Amino acid sequence: MGKWWQNSTVYQIYPRSFNDSNGDGIGDINGITERLPYLKQLGIEVIWLSPVYQSPNDDNGYDISDYEAIMDEFGTMEDYDRMLAEANRLGLKIMMDLVVNHTSDEHHWFIESRQSKASEKRDYYIWHDPKTNGEPPTNWAAAFGGSVWEFDEATGQYYLHLFSKKQPDLNWENENMRHDIYQMMRNWLDKGVAGFRMDVINMISKDPRYPEGELLKTGYNDGSPYYFNGPKVHDFLQEIHQEVLADYETITVGEMPNVNVDQAKLYTGEDRKELDMVFHFDHVGLGDGELGKWTPKEWKLTELKKIFTRWQEGLDQVGWNSLYWSNHDQPRAISRFGDDRAQYREKSGKMLATCLHMLKGTPYVFQGEEIGMTNVKFDSIDDYRDLESINAYHELTDKGLLTEDEMIRAIHQRGRDNARTPMQWSSENHAGFTTGEPWIKVNPNYPDINVKDALAREDSIFYYYKQLIELRKQHEIFVKGRYQLLHPDREDVYVYERVLDDQVLVVLTNFTDQVVSVDMTVDLTKATCLITNETEAIKQTEAGYTLQPYGAYAFLLKR
Ligand code: NOJ
């Protein structure tokens, strides 16, 4: 028997940028409630809500100061309960973002922890003495710049923060802390949420030896071998399962930078009782250069195919894949993997969706993807809000590793704010997102790209997504079919099959702006076309089947 979420599609909401109901320029819970019918219309079944908890917003809610209260800017717990009830009434489930690798430094646990070495909460976090020369305990670099260690005058020790210094890491070795987290999770599940997307959950177990890290090009040292997929991570996840998840019907996905297929088998293996899915980063890291995403290079389709194929084959019959092109940390899918020039924007967006949604796994749609939103190019760093981009801009330009121009261009391509500009609802002021002043500028292309326009056009990308989402429910082959890659060496097309008994689902996608031909052994002219972004039926010439620029077809046939 399959699991309920295997033929569902998940939609990610980044609440700050989704819909503002009270004119303060910041998206909020009531704004989400207003738009639930829109999501119902799209056909998704699960909403992953990026953090809505109380937070000082150093990292837009990924720094939580109270796990059981709603962020003031987003509304109240009553608003939340109303949203949840309304979602459930519409048959939509809510998946919460669980950020438990770290809290905010304003969480009362940390406030107590830093008060004295004898504090009952001291060990809820990771405190170490300075080296004898006063330096931090290790040389590791933090994800958002600087050292991972912050010195605390009051008690003369350093605390660990793998992200910003306002995001101290929790100490998962501490049993009381773990049980407080489990209770909090149960409280949310008892309220009726459907599960959790677990933030950087493969970082919770640290190597207790705390060795020095290797020197990177950026001049910092890499501690990542000592905190990704650490020694006790599976024990902790199994304990979460046993103490919390086992008692509920949930959907869980672990966000995991630096995870490979073999590790993912352990995280998602059905018999292991850890997680349902992981988010790996292999495809979103394509083209990373010497300074990672800040020196982006060309990427090759053959590499993308290799990555997806490795994951499709690797988790087959063992675990389950999550499928995504984008999220709140990534650039917009069409700009990154498709073609955002006006004439190809929707066409390539539909092609990408076809390619992804037919793979084996659960697809995740990031807000705005269903209307084909694209990256934004602000001229000045002052228009950006993301601490990752801002810190990297200063750090890399100060060190002379990149010029300001190079850095702005890199942010245009890969910065996180590409995903965080407000959802474009209409061609009204501020894209209909707010009646006030938005917390971050709206993408100036909103008069052309918005929900109202997409809903008014029958052939829009919105209705294409809707069709894809519906198709998953109608054909068992989407869930069960075995994946097989065809034409692995071609740089222009991604062609694959899914096979279930005598049924075959054939997916053909053209990743270029050229007309191409694809040689196939099956007769596609007799097959049922399930979906296409082309205006005509597929044609065959001597060279094979023809795909127009960014064309995509999916066929169902019997062998
Ligand atoms: C991953 C989240 O997706 C990202 O937005 C956040 O900054 C880091 N984890 C830290 O919580």
**Active-site residue (options: 28, 58, 255, 340):** 255
> What pLDDT sits at residue 191?
98
Indicate the top mutation candidate among 52, 97, 162, 199 to test ligand 1's pocket, ranked by most ligand atoms within 8 A of CB: 199
Number of CB atoms found within 10 A of residue 208's CB: 10
CA of 313 to the centre of ligand 1 (A): 28
- Helix, strand or coil, per DSSP, at residue 290: coil
Classify burial at 543, counting beta carbons within 10 Å of its beta carbon; exposed 0-12, middle 13-18, buried 19 or more.
exposed
How would you class 459 by CB atoms within 10 Å of its CB: exposed for 0-12, middle for 13-18, buried for 19 or more? Answer: exposed
Residue 334: is it exposed, middle or buried by C-beta count within 10 angstroms (0-12/13-18/19+)? buried
157-160 and 127-128 strand pairing:
antiparallel
Which uninterrupted H or E stretch holds 184?
helix 175-191
Please check whether residue 171 lies inside any domain of the structure: no
The pLDDT of residue 292 is above 60 = yes
163 close to ligand 1 (CB < 6 Angstrom): yes
Is there a domain that residue 415 lies in? Answer: yes
Indicate if ligand 1 lies below 6 Å from the C-beta of 417.
Answer: no
**48 in contact with ligand 1, CB cutoff 6 A:** no
Residue 269 to residues 6, 203, 253, 263, 273: CA-CA distances in angstroms?
A: 15, 19, 13, 10, 7
Residue 300: pLDDT band (50, 70, 90) is very high
Phi, psi of 410 (to 5 degrees): -65, -40
Joined together, the tokens standing for residue 440 give 């971050």
Distance 192 CA to ligand 1 centre (A): 24
Q: Is the CB of 329 under 6 A from ligand 1?
A: yes
Ligand 1 nearest-atom number relative to CA 101: 11
DSSP β-ladder status, 503-510 and 493-500: antiparallel
Q: Whose CA is nearest to atom 6 of ligand 1?
A: 62
Q: Which residues, including other chains, have CB under 8 Å from residue 434's CB and lie 6 or more apart?
A: 20, 23, 24, 25, 26, 27, 422
Contact 322, 330 (CB under 8 A): no
How many domains does the chain fold into?
Answer: 3
Atom of ligand 1 nearest to the CA of 102: 11
Q: How much distance in Å is there from the Cα of 379 to the middle of ligand 1?
A: 25
State the pLDDT at residue 217: 72
- Residue 158 is given by DSSP the state E
- Decide: residue 456, CB within 10 A, 0-12 exposed, 13-18 middle, 19+ buried: exposed
Whether residue 200 has its Cβ less than 6 Å from ligand 1:
yes
Distance CA 60, CA 331 (A): 17
**145 assigned to some structural domain:** yes
Which residue is it, tokens 């992953």? 48
Q: Please give the average per-residue pLDDT across 355-364, as a whole number.
A: 98
Is any atom of ligand 1 closer than 6 Å to the C-beta of 199? yes
Look-up of token digits 């001229």: 379
Rounded distance from Cα 62 to ligand 1 centre (Å): 6
Residue finishing a domain among 160, 182, 204: 160
284 part of a folded domain: no
The active-site residue, picked from 199, 276, 346, 386, is 199
Kindly report, residue by residue over 18-55, the tens digit of the pLDDT.
999 999 999 999 999 999 999 999 999 999 999 999 99
- Answer whether residue 219 shows pLDDT above 80: no
Distance CA 255, CA 264 (A): 11
N-term to C-term CA, the chain: 25
> Per residue in 454-504, pLDDT tens?
999 999 999 999 999 999 999 999 999 999 999 999 999 999 999 999 999
Residues 6+ apart with CB under 8 A from 143: 162, 163, 388
Separation of 482 CA from ligand 1 center, angstroms? Answer: 33
pLDDT for position 216 = 80
Of ligand 1's listed atoms, the one at least distance from the Cα of 59 is 7
Please give the distance, rounded to the nearest whole angstrom, from the Cα atom of residue 64 to the centre of ligand 1.
12
Q: Can 243 be counted among the known catalytic residues?
A: no
Answer yes or no: is 508 within a domain. Answer: yes
**Closest Cα to atom 2 of ligand 1:** 199
Picking from 94, 127, 160, the residue at the C-terminal end of a domain is: 160
How confident is the model at residue 197, as a pLDDT? 98
% of the chain residues with pLDDT over 70: 100
Q: Which DSSP helix (H) or strand (E) runs through 266?
A: helix 261-268
What per-residue confidence (pLDDT) applies to 556?
98
116 part of a folded domain: yes
Q: Is 199 assigned a catalytic role?
A: yes
At residue 88, the pLDDT reads 97
**What residues form DSSP beta bridges with 289?**
292
Residue 433 placed within a domain: no
Taking the CA of residue 329 as reference, the ligand 1 atom at the shortest distance is 5
The two three-digit tokens of residue 408, written as one number: 């702005």
Contact call for residues 142 and 218 (beta carbons, < 8 A): no
Query: With bands split at pLDDT 50, 70 and 90, how would you rate the model's confidence at 75?
Result: very high
Q: Is residue 320 part of a domain?
A: no
Are 237 and 243 a contacting pair, CB within 8 Å?
Answer: no
Q: What's the CATH code of the domain at 149?
A: 3.90.400.10
Q: Which residues of 136-158 are buried (b: 16+ CB within 10 A; e: fewer)?
A: bbbbbbbbbbebbbbeeeebebb
pLDDT of 1 > 60? The answer is no
CA of 95 to the centre of ligand 1 (A): 16
Nearest 5°: the CA angle 365, 417, 371 is 35
Query: Which of 373, 392, 420 is a domain's end point?
Result: 420
CATH of the domain at 545: 2.60.40.1180
Q: Are 10 and 365 in contact (CB under 8 A)?
A: yes
Q: Are 95 and 254 in contact (CB under 8 A)?
A: no
Number of H helices, E strands in the chain: 14, 23
Structural domain harbouring 137: 108-160
Per DSSP, what are the bridge partners of residue 22? none
Confidence (pLDDT) at 406: 98
Ligand 1 atom nearest the C-alpha of 327 is 3
Does ligand 1 have an atom closer than 6 angstroms to the CB of 364?
A: no
C-alpha distances (whole Å) from 413 to each of 297, 366, 376, 377, 506 are: 10, 17, 9, 8, 32
The CA distance from 549 to 75, in Å, is 46
